[in-house]
């Protein structure tokens, strides 16, 4: 093993939900594939745990990777240090316990992450340290800018990883490959041919005990500001000359800078709603307002919709409708590109009654192309058909892909600081309109398809 390969992943928030459920299983997948051979794992939290307790948590979360020796080595040598990360002496002690290059994963409540970063900015971090921050990154454009300023005092931007588990490497590459590695789709992807785009992330999952975080975030910040605008950027960006982190992230940032609310009208271009009592998949759910830990007076939305325009030569005039909601009747995770009708269907051909559509599914990652052809029987009558393809699974779970970028020092998948601010710049006026009461908080029964007054295309 070279000295260069020795590095420590320092997990702040070792006892938390994210660490056990997503981060550690992702790490196990990565290690089982032979990555990060010299990795040491240090966990920390305010709980009175010892090494044994932490190792058993790690082993439990690593279980899916089987008995891989590299995985077992990391679990068996993991160390735990009790610390309050808002205290300078505790953070100094944690950093002193790390060997080689350090990656600090802030699996902490956002306010604690910001406080820990402020302390680190005073005490400093070893050269080469990478910082991994979970979403939400700030609560608006101003707080995101302040957090960015703080981080810039700590390490260079390329060593800051603002995590977006949603856009793992395989999903990003699926979209880029679909758009830029053939001559079929890309020439059609512009306002000349596209009528509208819907990006939808509907979940049948409800609050699932996450009121502590979710009730202060809501669907707009939880999903649209943080994840769906990133999907939008991938769908509309110009082709990067290479997949180098700088080129790729520059292209994303450019289109997000050109994105604005439809008609610049935050009230007309947005919807918000929260679920009332109902049943999802036979499971009876209370109204969101009655869920444990929820303060109904906050008026937190569990479903948000937003229509934006991308003011570029290619996309001007095309509405992009973004929506995400919880406790809905069915899970639907896809981007749907609806094409304009054919310029003219020749007289004599009948039956065209459905727009051509390209559907890109996220989980499972699939592609569907809906269009009309001459079907069986009468050749003068068109029938709707769908061509399907699977993108195939990536070799790692999303957090494995995120951690690979962190441990290999590759910021490609990380959300760059200016981009995080830009996403808040887009949604801030909507949050202000909601706070002022300009947009009513609608209700939909859990297990329904959402409020009737949706901005999505009804036929998509």
Ligand X SMILES: NC(=O)C1=CN([C@@H]2O[C@H](COP(=O)(O)OP(=O)(O)OC[C@H]3O[C@@H](n4cnc5c(N)ncnc54)[C@H](OP(=O)(O)O)[C@@H]3O)[C@@H](O)[C@H]2O)C=CC1
Ligand Y SMILES: O=C1O[C@H](COP(=O)(O)O)[C@@H](O)[C@H](O)[C@H]1O
Name which of residues 134 to 163 contact ligand X (CB under 6 A).
134-135
Q: Residue 195: which of ligand X, ligand Y, none does it interact with, CB under 5 to 8 A by kind?
A: none
Q: Residue 32: which of ligand Y, ligand X, none does it interact with, CB under 5 to 8 A by kind?
A: none
293 secondary structure, DSSP code: T
Task: For ligand Y, give the closer residue by CB, 28 or 42.
Answer: 28
Task: For ligand Y, give the closer residue by CB, 43 or 398.
Answer: 398
Cα angle value 177/159/116 (rounded, 5°): 125
φ, ψ dihedrals at 188, nearest 5°: -90, -10
Compute how many other C-beta atoms are within 10 angstroms of the C-beta atom of residue 440.
13
φ, ψ dihedrals at 77, nearest 5°: -110, 5
DSSP SS3 for 8 = strand
Compute how many other C-beta atoms are within 10 angstroms of the C-beta atom of residue 144.
25
Task: For ligand X, give the closer residue by CB, 43 or 445.
Answer: 43
Q: Residue 47: which of ligand Y, ligand X, none does it interact with, CB under 5 to 8 A by kind?
A: ligand X
Told to judge if 227 belongs to the known catalytic residues of this protein, a careful annotator would answer yes
- Taking the C-alpha atoms of residue 224 and residue 238, their distance in angstroms, rounded to an integer, is 21
Quote the least distance from Cβ 205 to ligand Y, whole Å.
6
* Contact flag: residue 18 with ligand X (CB under 6 A): yes
427 is in an annotated binding site: no
Beta strands 79-82 and 38-45, pairing class: parallel
**Where does this chain bind ligand Y (CB under 6 A)?**
166, 203, 205, 222, 363
Task: For ligand Y, give the closer residue by CB, 203 or 422.
Answer: 203
Stretch that binds ligand X, among 7-15, 355-363, 371-379, 421-429 (CB under 6 A): 7-15
Stretch that binds ligand X, among 15-23, 258-266, 320-328, 358-366 (CB under 6 A): 15-23
* Contact flag: residue 13 with ligand X (CB under 6 A): yes
- Taking the C-alpha atoms of residue 459 and residue 354, their distance in angstroms, rounded to an integer, is 9
Compute how many other C-beta atoms are within 10 angstroms of the C-beta atom of residue 33.
15
- Taking the C-alpha atoms of residue 30 and residue 24, their distance in angstroms, rounded to an integer, is 10
Quote the least distance from Cβ 333 to ligand Y, whole Å.
7
Task: For ligand X, give the closer residue by CB, 46 or 204.
Answer: 46
CB 247 within 8 A of CB 325: no
355 is in an annotated binding site: no
Half-sphere exposure of 304 (CA within 13 A, CB side): 23
Stretch that binds ligand X, among 13-21, 124-132, 185-193, 444-452 (CB under 6 A): 13-21
85 is in an annotated binding site: yes
Alpha carbon separation from 386 to 318, 361, 367, 375 (Å, rounded): 24, 14, 10, 12
DSSP bridge pairs for 202:
325, 332
Stretch that binds ligand X, among 80-88, 277-285, 313-321, 394-402 (CB under 6 A): 80-88
Catalytic hit among 193, 227, 355, 368: 227
Quote the least distance from Cβ 430 to ligand Y, whole Å.
18
Q: Could you tell me how far CA 72 lies from the centroid of its own chain?
A: 30
245 Cβ contact list (under 8 Å, min separation 6): 158, 410, 411, 412
DSSP labels for 107-161? -S-HHHHHHHHHHHHHH---TT-EEEEPSP--SSHHHHHHHHHHHHTTS-GGGEE
Choosing from 6, 17, 443, 449, the residue that interacts with ligand X (CB under 6 A) is 17
Quote the least distance from Cβ 208 to ligand Y, whole Å.
8
Stretch that binds ligand X, among 41-49, 169-177, 255-263, 356-364 (CB under 6 A): 41-49
Quote the least distance from Cβ 213 to ligand X, whole Å.
5
Choosing from 37, 100, 128, 213, the residue that interacts with ligand X (CB under 6 A) is 213
How many residues interact with ligand X (rule CB under 6 A)? Answer: 21
307 is in an annotated binding site: no
Task: For ligand Y, give the closer residue by CB, 166 or 320.
Answer: 166
Task: For ligand Y, give the closer residue by CB, 192 or 205.
Answer: 205
* Contact flag: residue 109 with ligand X (CB under 6 A): yes
Per-residue burial over 74-86, b = 16 or more CB atoms within 10 Å of its CB, e = otherwise: bbeebbbbbbebb
Q: By the criterion CB under 6 A, which residues form the site for ligand X?
A: 12-18, 45-47, 84-86, 107-110, 112, 134-135, 213
Q: Which residues participate in catalysis according to the annotation?
A: 227
- Going by the annotation, the residues of the binding site are 84-85, 135, 165, 169, 203, 222, 326
Residue ranges of the annotated binding site for substrate are 165, 169, 203, 222, 326
């Amino acid at each position: 093993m070279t000295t260069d390969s020795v590095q420590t992943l320092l997990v702040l928030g070792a006892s938390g939900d994210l660490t056990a459920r997503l981060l550690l299983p992702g790490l196990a997948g990565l290690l089982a594939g032979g990555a990060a051979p010299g990795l040491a794992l240090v966990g920390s939290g305010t709980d009175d745990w010892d090494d044994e307790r932490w190792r058993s948590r790690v082993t439990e979360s690593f279980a899916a990777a089987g008995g891989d020796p590299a995985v077992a080595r990391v679990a068996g040598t993991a160390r735990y240090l009790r610390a309050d990360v808002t205290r300078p002496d505790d953070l100094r002690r944690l950093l002193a316990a790390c060997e080689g290059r350090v990656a600090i994963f802030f699996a902490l409540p956002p306010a604690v992450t910001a406080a820990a970063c402020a302390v680190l900015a005073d005490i400093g971090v070893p050269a080469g340290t990478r910082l991994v921050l979970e979403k939400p990154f700030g609560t608006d454009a101003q707080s995101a800018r302040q957090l960015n300023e703080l981080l810039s005092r700590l390490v260079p931007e390329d060593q800051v990883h603002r995590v977006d588990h949603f856009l793992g490497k395989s999903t990003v590459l699926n979209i880029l490959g679909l758009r830029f590695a053939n001559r079929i789709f890309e020439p059609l992807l512009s306002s000349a041919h596209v009528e509208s785009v819907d990006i939808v992330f509907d979940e049948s999952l409800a609050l699932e005990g996450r009121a502590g975080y979710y009730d202060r975030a809501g669907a707009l910040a939880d999903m649209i500001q943080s994840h769906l605008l990133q999907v939008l950027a991938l769908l509309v960006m110009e082709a990067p000359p290479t997949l180098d982190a700088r080129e790729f992230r520059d292209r994303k940032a450019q289109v997000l800078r050109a994105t604005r609310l439809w008609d610049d009208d935050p009230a007309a271009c947005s919807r918000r709603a929260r679920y009332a009592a109902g049943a999802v998949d036979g499971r009876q759910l209370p109204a969101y307002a009655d869920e444990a830990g929820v303060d109904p007076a906050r008026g937190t939305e569990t479903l948000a919709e937003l229509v934006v325009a991308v003011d570029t030569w290619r996309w001007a005039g095309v509405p992009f409708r973004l929506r995400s909601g919880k406790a809905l009747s069915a899970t639907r995770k896809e981007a749907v590109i609806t094409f304009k009708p054919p310029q003219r269907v020749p007289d004599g051909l009948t039956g065209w009654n459905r727009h051509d559509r390209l559907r890109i599914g996220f989980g499972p990652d699939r592609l569907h192309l809906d269009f009309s052809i001459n079907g069986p029987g009468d050749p003068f009558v068109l029938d709707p058909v769908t061509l399907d393809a699977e993108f195939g699974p990536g070799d790692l779970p999303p957090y494995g892909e995120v951690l690979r970028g962190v441990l290999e020092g590759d910021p490609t998948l990380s959300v760059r600081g200016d981009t995080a601010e830009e996403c808040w710049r887009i949604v801030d006026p909507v949050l202000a309109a909601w706070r002022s009461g300009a947009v009513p908080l609608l209700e939909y029964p859990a297990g329904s398809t959402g409020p009737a007054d949706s901005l999505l295309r009804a036929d998509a």
